[in-house]
């Protein structure tokens, strides 16, 4: 007699990576000195969109844009790019490097408490999710992108994280 056990690790990975991305966004917002009110009000919609689009493999990037509400100009930006073939030979571990994000927040520079933020998701061809609509990114002219590396991983899923900072 033999026994066969199957576990859908991809579903667990989607749940883990989704949760850690939202927690990382919260960490960035909070440690940057911004109000978490918008995030808390958007939490369910944010998790739903990320989860649906990772599960369908349409999600390419989750972006946090921090901007000056008087000029609508970009102050800084954080990108979480999804890699669907990360750690293909991994042992099934789930991990997040919140310390790397914390260090990068300090490198990104001071942000005025009067700044506002928005979440953007790049998921071309993905299904419609309540609370999300098409939009455009603010210009990154005069900014330089700084890679932090992989900060969240779960089996075959990983997120390459980066932030944008003015060049002058």
Query: Is residue 35 assigned to a domain?
Result: yes
Query: Is residue 156 assigned to a domain?
Result: yes
Stretch among 5-14, 123-132, 156-165 having the lowest mean pLDDT:
5-14
Query: Is residue 62 assigned to a domain?
Result: yes
Domain that holds residue 80: 9-124+138-166
pLDDT tens across 115-131, in order? 999 999 999 999 999 88
Looking up residue 46, the CATH number of its domain turns out to be 3.30.900.10
Task: Give percent of the chain with pLDDT exceeding 70.
Answer: 92
Query: Is residue 132 assigned to a domain?
Result: no
Write down the pLDDT at residue 6: 45
pLDDT tens across 25-38, in order? 999 999 999 999 99
Residue 44 scores a pLDDT above 70: yes
Query: Is residue 133 assigned to a domain?
Result: no
Residue 4 scores a pLDDT above 70: no
Q: pTM of the entire structure?
A: 0.91
Write down the pLDDT at residue 5: 47
Query: Is residue 4 assigned to a domain?
Result: no
Query: HEC profile for the chain?
Result: CCCCCCCCHHHHHHHHHHHHHHHHHHHHHHHCCCCCHHHHHHHHHHHHHHHHHHHCCCCCEEEEEEECCCCCCEEEEEEEEEECCCCCCCCCCEEECHHHHHHHHHHHCCCCCCCEEEEEEECCCCCCCCCCCCCCCCCCCCEEEEEEEEEEEECCEEEEEEEEEECC
- Residues 157, 159, 165: CA angle, nearest 5 degrees: 175
116 touches 66 (CB < 8 A): yes
pLDDT tens across 129-154, in order? 988 988 899 999 999 999 999 999 98
Domain total in the chain: 1
Query: Is residue 2 assigned to a domain?
Result: no
């Amino acid at each position: 007699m033999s026994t066969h056990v199957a576990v859908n690790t991809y579903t667990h990975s989607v749940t883990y990576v989704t949760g850690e991305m939202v927690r990382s966004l919260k960490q960035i917002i909070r440690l940057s000195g911004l109000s978490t009110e918008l995030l808390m009000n958007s939490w369910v919609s944010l998790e739903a969109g990320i989860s649906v689009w990772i599960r369908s493999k349409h999600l390419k990037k989750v972006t946090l844009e921090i901007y000056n509400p008087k000029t609508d100009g970009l102050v800084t930006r954080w990108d979480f790019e999804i890699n669907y073939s990360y750690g293909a030979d991994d042992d099934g571990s789930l991990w997040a490097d919140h310390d790397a994000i914390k260090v990068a927040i300090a490198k990104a520079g001071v942000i005025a408490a009067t700044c506002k933020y928005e979440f953007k998701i790049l998921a071309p061809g993905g299904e419609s999710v309540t609370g999300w609509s098409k939009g455009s990114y603010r210009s990154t002219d005069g900014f330089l992108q700084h890679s932090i590396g992989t900060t969240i991983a779960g089996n075959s899923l990983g997120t390459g994280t980066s932030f944008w900072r003015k060049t002058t």
